[in-house]
Amino acid sequence: MRLFLIGVLFFPCFAYAQLDLQIRKETSPTSKWYESFSIRGYSQFRYNRLFETNPNLNCEQCDRSWGNNGGFFMRRMRVIFSGQLSKNVYFYIQPDFASSPASDRLHFGQIRDAYVDVGLDKDNEFRLRIGQSKVPFGFENMQSSQNRIPLDRNDALNSAVSNERDIGTFFYWAPKEKRKLFSSLISEGLKGSGDYGVFAFGLYNGQTANNPELNNKLHIVSRFSYPFELNNQIVEVGLQAYKGKFVIPRSNLSNGVKYNSDLNYVDERIATSFVLYPKPFGILSEYNIGRGPAFNKITDSIEVQPLNGGYITFSYLKKLNKQTLIPFVRYQYYNGGKKHERDARSYIVNDLEIGAEWQPNKNFELVVNYTISNRRYEDYILQNNLQRGNLLRIQAQVNF
Protein backbone atom coordinates (compact mmCIF):
# COMPACT_ATOMS: atom_id res chain seq x y z
CA MET A 1 0.00 0.00 0.00
CA ARG A 2 2.80 2.39 0.92
CA LEU A 3 4.64 1.69 -2.35
CA PHE A 4 1.42 2.32 -4.27
CA LEU A 5 0.90 5.70 -2.58
CA ILE A 6 4.50 6.72 -3.23
CA GLY A 7 4.06 5.73 -6.85
CA VAL A 8 0.90 7.82 -7.10
CA LEU A 9 2.85 10.86 -5.90
CA PHE A 10 5.97 10.39 -8.02
CA PHE A 11 4.66 8.94 -11.30
CA PRO A 12 3.21 12.26 -12.60
CA CYS A 13 6.73 13.76 -12.47
CA PHE A 14 7.81 11.35 -15.19
CA ALA A 15 4.56 11.60 -17.10
CA TYR A 16 4.92 15.36 -17.38
CA ALA A 17 8.67 15.51 -18.02
CA GLN A 18 8.11 16.04 -21.74
CA LEU A 19 5.78 18.99 -20.94
CA ASP A 20 8.55 20.73 -19.01
CA LEU A 21 11.08 20.04 -21.76
CA GLN A 22 8.73 21.50 -24.35
CA ILE A 23 8.23 24.64 -22.24
CA ARG A 24 12.00 24.99 -21.91
CA LYS A 25 12.30 24.92 -25.72
CA GLU A 26 9.68 27.65 -26.03
CA THR A 27 11.45 29.88 -23.50
CA SER A 28 13.60 32.65 -24.88
CA PRO A 29 17.21 31.40 -25.19
CA THR A 30 18.40 34.60 -23.53
CA SER A 31 16.39 34.04 -20.31
CA LYS A 32 18.37 32.54 -17.43
CA TRP A 33 17.02 30.89 -14.29
CA TYR A 34 19.05 33.18 -12.02
CA GLU A 35 17.22 36.22 -13.42
CA SER A 36 14.24 35.14 -11.31
CA PHE A 37 16.40 34.31 -8.27
CA SER A 38 15.45 36.28 -5.14
CA ILE A 39 16.83 36.72 -1.63
CA ARG A 40 14.70 38.03 1.20
CA GLY A 41 14.21 37.40 4.89
CA TYR A 42 13.28 38.68 8.32
CA SER A 43 14.50 38.73 11.90
CA GLN A 44 12.67 38.88 15.23
CA PHE A 45 13.99 40.18 18.56
CA ARG A 46 12.04 39.76 21.81
CA TYR A 47 11.85 40.62 25.46
CA ASN A 48 9.26 38.76 27.55
CA ARG A 49 9.82 39.75 31.17
CA LEU A 50 8.10 43.10 31.65
CA PHE A 51 5.49 42.95 34.45
CA GLU A 52 6.22 39.23 34.84
CA THR A 53 4.37 37.71 37.84
CA ASN A 54 5.74 34.14 37.81
CA PRO A 55 9.34 33.40 36.68
CA ASN A 56 8.57 29.63 36.82
CA LEU A 57 6.02 29.91 34.02
CA ASN A 58 7.57 28.50 30.82
CA CYS A 59 6.55 27.69 27.25
CA GLU A 60 9.09 25.35 25.66
CA GLN A 61 7.12 25.03 22.44
CA CYS A 62 6.48 28.71 21.81
CA ASP A 63 9.40 30.72 23.22
CA ARG A 64 12.20 29.39 25.42
CA SER A 65 13.04 32.86 26.74
CA TRP A 66 9.90 32.92 28.91
CA GLY A 67 10.60 32.85 32.64
CA ASN A 68 13.63 32.62 34.88
CA ASN A 69 16.97 33.64 33.32
CA GLY A 70 15.23 34.82 30.17
CA GLY A 71 16.47 38.06 28.68
CA PHE A 72 16.71 39.68 25.27
CA PHE A 73 16.20 36.92 22.74
CA MET A 74 16.63 36.46 18.98
CA ARG A 75 13.60 34.37 18.06
CA ARG A 76 14.25 34.07 14.33
CA MET A 77 16.92 35.11 11.82
CA ARG A 78 15.85 33.77 8.44
CA VAL A 79 17.11 34.22 4.92
CA ILE A 80 15.03 32.87 2.04
CA PHE A 81 16.46 31.86 -1.33
CA SER A 82 13.98 31.08 -4.10
CA GLY A 83 13.70 31.07 -7.86
CA GLN A 84 11.83 29.77 -10.89
CA LEU A 85 14.20 27.34 -12.61
CA SER A 86 11.72 26.94 -15.45
CA LYS A 87 8.02 27.55 -15.88
CA ASN A 88 7.26 24.25 -14.13
CA VAL A 89 10.13 23.96 -11.64
CA TYR A 90 10.52 26.24 -8.60
CA PHE A 91 12.95 25.97 -5.67
CA TYR A 92 12.78 27.35 -2.12
CA ILE A 93 15.46 27.19 0.60
CA GLN A 94 15.07 28.79 4.02
CA PRO A 95 17.69 28.43 6.77
CA ASP A 96 17.23 29.91 10.24
CA PHE A 97 20.36 31.27 11.95
CA ALA A 98 18.71 31.59 15.37
CA SER A 99 18.09 27.89 16.09
CA SER A 100 18.75 26.49 19.56
CA PRO A 101 19.99 22.88 19.64
CA ALA A 102 20.08 23.02 23.45
CA SER A 103 18.93 25.34 26.21
CA ASP A 104 22.51 26.60 26.69
CA ARG A 105 23.37 26.98 22.98
CA LEU A 106 21.91 29.70 20.77
CA HIS A 107 22.09 31.04 17.21
CA PHE A 108 22.99 27.95 15.21
CA GLY A 109 22.15 27.68 11.52
CA GLN A 110 19.56 25.06 10.60
CA ILE A 111 17.47 24.25 7.53
CA ARG A 112 13.78 25.04 7.87
CA ASP A 113 12.67 24.57 4.24
CA ALA A 114 14.46 22.95 1.31
CA TYR A 115 12.16 21.82 -1.47
CA VAL A 116 11.29 21.98 -5.15
CA ASP A 117 7.85 22.41 -6.68
CA VAL A 118 7.23 20.53 -9.91
CA GLY A 119 4.27 21.80 -11.91
CA LEU A 120 2.30 19.06 -13.66
CA ASP A 121 0.39 21.26 -16.12
CA LYS A 122 0.98 24.47 -18.05
CA ASP A 123 -0.63 26.68 -15.34
CA ASN A 124 0.95 24.84 -12.38
CA GLU A 125 -2.49 24.20 -10.93
CA PHE A 126 -1.28 20.67 -10.08
CA ARG A 127 2.02 20.58 -8.23
CA LEU A 128 4.31 18.16 -6.42
CA ARG A 129 6.42 19.51 -3.57
CA ILE A 130 9.46 17.34 -2.82
CA GLY A 131 11.79 17.90 0.15
CA GLN A 132 11.50 19.38 3.62
CA SER A 133 8.55 21.73 3.89
CA LYS A 134 5.49 22.51 5.97
CA VAL A 135 3.09 19.64 6.58
CA PRO A 136 -0.37 20.81 5.38
CA PHE A 137 -2.19 20.66 8.72
CA GLY A 138 -3.81 23.81 10.13
CA PHE A 139 -4.09 27.38 8.85
CA GLU A 140 -1.90 29.01 11.51
CA ASN A 141 0.72 26.28 11.06
CA MET A 142 0.88 27.16 7.35
CA GLN A 143 0.96 30.90 8.04
CA SER A 144 4.47 32.32 8.14
CA SER A 145 5.61 33.74 11.46
CA GLN A 146 6.51 36.81 9.40
CA ASN A 147 2.76 37.37 8.80
CA ARG A 148 1.13 35.93 11.94
CA ILE A 149 -0.30 38.51 14.38
CA PRO A 150 0.19 36.73 17.80
CA LEU A 151 3.82 36.14 18.65
CA ASP A 152 3.59 32.34 18.69
CA ARG A 153 1.42 29.64 17.19
CA ASN A 154 -1.27 28.07 19.33
CA ASP A 155 -0.41 24.99 21.40
CA ALA A 156 -3.37 22.91 20.22
CA LEU A 157 -2.57 22.52 16.51
CA ASN A 158 1.13 23.37 16.59
CA SER A 159 1.76 20.40 18.92
CA ALA A 160 0.89 18.20 15.92
CA VAL A 161 4.12 18.97 14.04
CA SER A 162 7.08 20.59 15.76
CA ASN A 163 8.40 23.48 13.63
CA GLU A 164 5.47 22.69 11.28
CA ARG A 165 7.77 20.78 8.91
CA ASP A 166 8.94 17.34 7.83
CA ILE A 167 10.55 15.59 4.85
CA GLY A 168 8.15 14.13 2.34
CA THR A 169 6.28 14.53 -0.91
CA PHE A 170 3.10 16.61 -1.08
CA PHE A 171 0.59 17.06 -3.89
CA TYR A 172 -1.19 20.43 -4.16
CA TRP A 173 -4.03 21.49 -6.42
CA ALA A 174 -5.68 24.90 -6.80
CA PRO A 175 -7.25 26.64 -9.81
CA LYS A 176 -5.18 29.59 -11.02
CA GLU A 177 -7.88 32.04 -9.81
CA LYS A 178 -7.55 30.67 -6.26
CA ARG A 179 -3.75 30.77 -6.50
CA LYS A 180 -3.97 34.47 -7.35
CA LEU A 181 -6.29 34.97 -4.37
CA PHE A 182 -3.89 33.15 -2.02
CA SER A 183 -1.09 35.42 -3.25
CA SER A 184 -3.11 38.62 -2.86
CA LEU A 185 -3.95 37.78 0.77
CA ILE A 186 -0.22 38.06 1.50
CA SER A 187 0.64 41.03 -0.73
CA GLU A 188 -2.29 43.11 0.56
CA GLY A 189 -1.29 42.56 4.20
CA LEU A 190 -4.37 40.48 5.10
CA LYS A 191 -2.33 37.85 6.99
CA GLY A 192 -2.88 34.95 4.60
CA SER A 193 -1.34 31.51 5.00
CA GLY A 194 0.22 31.33 1.54
CA ASP A 195 -0.52 29.01 -1.36
CA TYR A 196 -0.86 25.47 -0.01
CA GLY A 197 -3.56 24.56 -2.47
CA VAL A 198 -7.28 24.09 -2.22
CA PHE A 199 -6.57 20.36 -1.90
CA ALA A 200 -3.43 18.77 -0.49
CA PHE A 201 -2.29 15.19 0.02
CA GLY A 202 1.07 13.92 1.16
CA LEU A 203 3.35 11.32 2.68
CA TYR A 204 6.09 12.27 5.14
CA ASN A 205 8.41 10.66 7.70
CA GLY A 206 6.53 11.80 10.80
CA GLN A 207 9.48 12.54 13.11
CA THR A 208 9.40 16.28 12.21
CA ALA A 209 11.98 18.55 10.60
CA ASN A 210 15.71 17.79 10.86
CA ASN A 211 15.11 14.50 12.66
CA PRO A 212 15.88 11.04 11.22
CA GLU A 213 13.11 8.57 10.50
CA LEU A 214 12.85 6.00 13.33
CA ASN A 215 10.42 3.44 11.93
CA ASN A 216 9.25 2.06 8.57
CA LYS A 217 5.83 3.69 8.75
CA LEU A 218 5.12 6.93 6.89
CA HIS A 219 2.58 9.51 8.01
CA ILE A 220 -0.25 10.42 5.64
CA VAL A 221 -1.93 13.85 5.57
CA SER A 222 -4.68 15.55 3.59
CA ARG A 223 -6.14 19.05 3.66
CA PHE A 224 -8.97 20.95 1.98
CA SER A 225 -9.00 24.75 2.35
CA TYR A 226 -11.27 26.93 0.24
CA PRO A 227 -11.16 30.76 0.16
CA PHE A 228 -14.02 32.74 -1.38
CA GLU A 229 -15.19 36.32 -1.62
CA LEU A 230 -18.44 37.27 0.10
CA ASN A 231 -19.51 40.83 -0.65
CA ASN A 232 -16.52 42.90 0.51
CA GLN A 233 -15.19 40.13 2.76
CA ILE A 234 -12.99 37.10 2.12
CA VAL A 235 -13.74 33.88 3.98
CA GLU A 236 -11.73 30.64 4.07
CA VAL A 237 -12.90 27.32 5.50
CA GLY A 238 -10.72 24.26 5.95
CA LEU A 239 -10.66 20.63 7.00
CA GLN A 240 -7.49 18.59 7.50
CA ALA A 241 -6.35 15.29 9.02
CA TYR A 242 -3.25 13.12 9.38
CA LYS A 243 -2.40 9.65 10.67
CA GLY A 244 0.77 7.72 11.47
CA LYS A 245 3.02 6.20 14.13
CA PHE A 246 5.36 8.48 16.07
CA VAL A 247 8.51 7.14 17.73
CA ILE A 248 9.52 8.74 21.04
CA PRO A 249 13.29 9.41 20.84
CA ARG A 250 15.18 7.74 23.69
CA SER A 251 16.92 11.04 24.41
CA ASN A 252 13.50 12.43 25.43
CA LEU A 253 12.88 9.75 28.09
CA SER A 254 13.41 10.30 31.82
CA ASN A 255 14.96 7.54 33.92
CA GLY A 256 12.08 5.58 35.46
CA VAL A 257 9.32 6.48 33.04
CA LYS A 258 7.41 3.54 31.51
CA TYR A 259 6.90 3.28 27.76
CA ASN A 260 6.06 0.91 24.90
CA SER A 261 8.89 -1.50 24.17
CA ASP A 262 9.17 -0.34 20.54
CA LEU A 263 8.53 3.34 21.42
CA ASN A 264 5.89 3.52 18.64
CA TYR A 265 2.66 5.40 19.39
CA VAL A 266 -0.51 6.12 17.43
CA ASP A 267 -0.47 9.72 16.18
CA GLU A 268 -3.65 10.97 14.48
CA ARG A 269 -5.71 14.16 14.37
CA ILE A 270 -8.48 15.96 12.50
CA ALA A 271 -8.97 19.74 12.54
CA THR A 272 -11.31 22.42 11.24
CA SER A 273 -10.39 26.01 10.32
CA PHE A 274 -12.40 29.18 9.80
CA VAL A 275 -10.94 32.49 8.62
CA LEU A 276 -12.64 35.85 8.15
CA TYR A 277 -9.86 38.01 6.75
CA PRO A 278 -9.49 41.44 8.42
CA LYS A 279 -11.33 43.84 6.11
CA PRO A 280 -11.23 45.47 8.61
CA PHE A 281 -12.61 43.05 11.26
CA GLY A 282 -11.10 39.58 11.29
CA ILE A 283 -11.68 36.19 12.94
CA LEU A 284 -9.36 33.19 12.90
CA SER A 285 -10.47 30.02 14.67
CA GLU A 286 -9.29 26.40 14.61
CA TYR A 287 -10.01 23.27 16.63
CA ASN A 288 -8.58 19.75 16.55
CA ILE A 289 -9.23 16.39 18.18
CA GLY A 290 -7.26 13.18 18.03
CA ARG A 291 -5.03 10.68 19.83
CA GLY A 292 -1.35 10.66 20.58
CA PRO A 293 1.35 9.88 23.14
CA ALA A 294 1.04 11.68 26.49
CA PHE A 295 2.48 11.23 29.97
CA ASN A 296 0.12 9.71 32.56
CA LYS A 297 1.25 10.64 36.08
CA ILE A 298 -1.05 8.04 37.67
CA THR A 299 0.82 5.17 36.00
CA ASP A 300 4.14 6.99 35.38
CA SER A 301 3.76 5.89 31.76
CA ILE A 302 3.68 7.31 28.25
CA GLU A 303 0.35 6.17 26.81
CA VAL A 304 -1.85 6.88 23.80
CA GLN A 305 -4.45 9.33 25.10
CA PRO A 306 -7.16 11.53 23.57
CA LEU A 307 -6.40 15.19 22.93
CA ASN A 308 -8.43 18.25 21.99
CA GLY A 309 -8.10 22.00 21.79
CA GLY A 310 -8.13 25.10 19.68
CA TYR A 311 -8.16 28.88 19.67
CA ILE A 312 -9.98 31.94 18.42
CA THR A 313 -8.37 35.25 17.43
CA PHE A 314 -10.23 38.51 16.88
CA SER A 315 -8.42 41.32 15.06
CA TYR A 316 -9.08 44.72 13.51
CA LEU A 317 -6.93 46.13 10.70
CA LYS A 318 -6.68 49.94 10.66
CA LYS A 319 -4.76 51.90 8.03
CA LEU A 320 -3.24 55.17 9.31
CA ASN A 321 -1.92 56.91 6.18
CA LYS A 322 0.96 54.58 5.22
CA GLN A 323 1.06 52.91 8.63
CA THR A 324 -0.92 49.87 9.82
CA LEU A 325 -2.26 49.08 13.28
CA ILE A 326 -3.79 45.67 14.13
CA PRO A 327 -5.13 45.22 17.68
CA PHE A 328 -6.04 41.62 18.53
CA VAL A 329 -7.32 39.27 21.24
CA ARG A 330 -6.70 35.52 21.28
CA TYR A 331 -7.91 32.78 23.61
CA GLN A 332 -6.48 29.27 23.36
CA TYR A 333 -7.13 25.94 25.07
CA TYR A 334 -5.35 22.61 24.82
CA ASN A 335 -5.69 19.33 26.71
CA GLY A 336 -3.29 16.65 25.53
CA GLY A 337 0.29 15.54 25.12
CA LYS A 338 3.22 17.06 23.26
CA LYS A 339 5.03 14.17 21.63
CA HIS A 340 8.16 16.26 20.90
CA GLU A 341 8.86 17.11 24.54
CA ARG A 342 10.27 15.04 27.41
CA ASP A 343 8.15 11.98 28.21
CA ALA A 344 5.51 13.30 25.76
CA ARG A 345 4.72 15.91 28.39
CA SER A 346 0.97 16.28 29.14
CA TYR A 347 -0.64 19.73 29.04
CA ILE A 348 -3.74 21.64 30.02
CA VAL A 349 -3.45 25.19 28.64
CA ASN A 350 -5.74 28.17 29.13
CA ASP A 351 -4.18 31.38 27.77
CA LEU A 352 -5.59 34.81 26.97
CA GLU A 353 -3.53 37.26 24.90
CA ILE A 354 -4.27 40.93 24.29
CA GLY A 355 -2.04 42.98 22.04
CA ALA A 356 -1.41 44.98 18.91
CA GLU A 357 0.86 44.97 15.88
CA TRP A 358 2.15 48.30 14.55
CA GLN A 359 3.72 48.60 11.09
CA PRO A 360 5.17 52.09 10.50
CA ASN A 361 6.47 50.82 7.13
CA LYS A 362 6.91 47.54 5.28
CA ASN A 363 10.38 46.94 6.73
CA PHE A 364 9.62 47.21 10.44
CA GLU A 365 6.94 45.84 12.78
CA LEU A 366 6.47 46.13 16.53
CA VAL A 367 4.19 43.79 18.51
CA VAL A 368 3.17 44.29 22.15
CA ASN A 369 1.39 41.31 23.66
CA TYR A 370 0.06 40.93 27.24
CA THR A 371 -0.34 37.26 28.14
CA ILE A 372 -2.50 35.87 30.95
CA SER A 373 -1.49 32.23 31.25
CA ASN A 374 -2.69 29.16 33.16
CA ARG A 375 -0.63 26.07 32.26
CA ARG A 376 -0.40 22.60 33.75
CA TYR A 377 2.48 20.68 32.16
CA GLU A 378 3.75 17.43 33.63
CA ASP A 379 6.27 14.70 32.88
CA TYR A 380 7.99 12.06 35.00
CA ILE A 381 10.16 14.68 36.72
CA LEU A 382 7.74 17.63 36.64
CA GLN A 383 4.66 16.25 38.41
CA ASN A 384 1.76 18.28 39.82
CA ASN A 385 3.19 21.27 37.99
CA LEU A 386 0.59 24.02 37.62
CA GLN A 387 1.94 27.47 36.74
CA ARG A 388 -0.11 30.67 36.50
CA GLY A 389 1.20 34.08 35.58
CA ASN A 390 1.06 37.22 33.48
CA LEU A 391 3.74 38.86 31.36
CA LEU A 392 4.13 41.63 28.80
CA ARG A 393 5.91 40.50 25.65
CA ILE A 394 7.53 42.79 23.04
CA GLN A 395 8.82 41.84 19.60
CA ALA A 396 10.61 43.93 16.98
CA GLN A 397 10.60 42.47 13.48
CA VAL A 398 12.72 43.61 10.55
CA ASN A 399 11.74 42.56 7.02
CA PHE A 400 14.32 42.72 4.26
pLDDT tens digits for 245-268?
A: 999 999 999 999 999 999 999 999
In the structure, what pLDDT confidence band is assigned to residue 127 with cuts at 50, 70 and 90? very high
Q: Is the pLDDT score of 377 beyond 60?
A: yes
pLDDT tens digits for 153-198?
A: 999 999 999 999 999 999 999 999 999 999 999 999 999 999 999 9
Q: Is the pLDDT score of 217 beyond 90?
A: yes
User: Which pLDDT score, from 0 to 100, does residue 7 have?
Assistant: 54
pLDDT tens digits for 302-316?
A: 999 999 999 999 999
**Averaged pLDDT, 76-88:** 96
pLDDT tens digits for 10-63?
A: 544 444 444 444 444 444 456 677 778 999 999 999 999 999 999 999 999 999
Domains of the chain by residue range: 2-399
User: Which pLDDT score, from 0 to 100, does residue 295 have?
Assistant: 98
Q: Is the pLDDT score of 73 beyond 60?
A: yes
User: Which pLDDT score, from 0 to 100, does residue 17 have?
Assistant: 46
User: Which pLDDT score, from 0 to 100, does residue 24 have?
Assistant: 43
Q: Is the pLDDT score of 102 beyond 70?
A: no
HEC readout, the chain: CHHHHHHHHHHHHHHCHHHHHHHHHHCCCCCCHHHHCEEEEEEEEEEEEECCCCCCCCCCCCCCCCCCCCCCEEEEEEEEEEEEEECCEEEEEEEEEEECCECCECCEEEEEEEEEEEECCCCCCEEEEEEEEECCCCHHHHCCCCCCCCCCCCHHHHCCCHHHEEEEEEEEECCHHHHHHHHHHHHCCCCCCCCCCCEEEEEECCCCCCCCCCCCCCEEEEEEEEEEEECCEEEEEEEEEEEEEEECCHHHCCCCCECCCCCEEEEEEEEEEEEECCCCEEEEEEEEEEEEEEEECCCCEEEEEEEEEEEEEEEECEEECCEEEEEEEEEEEEEEECCCCHHHCEEEEEEEEEEEEEEEECCEEEEEEEEEEEEEEECCCCCCCEEEEEEEEEEEEEEC
Q: Which residue has the higher pLDDT, 323 or 8?
A: 323
Candidates 3.30.70.920, 1.10.3720.10, 1.10.287.110, 2.40.160.10; correct CATH number of 2-399? 2.40.160.10
User: Which pLDDT score, from 0 to 100, does residue 46 have?
Assistant: 97
User: Which pLDDT score, from 0 to 100, does residue 103 have?
Assistant: 62
In the structure, what pLDDT confidence band is assigned to residue 106 with cuts at 50, 70 and 90? confident
Give percent above pLDDT 70 in the chain. Answer: 92
Q: Is the pLDDT score of 293 beyond 80?
A: yes
In the structure, what pLDDT confidence band is assigned to residue 399 with cuts at 50, 70 and 90? very high
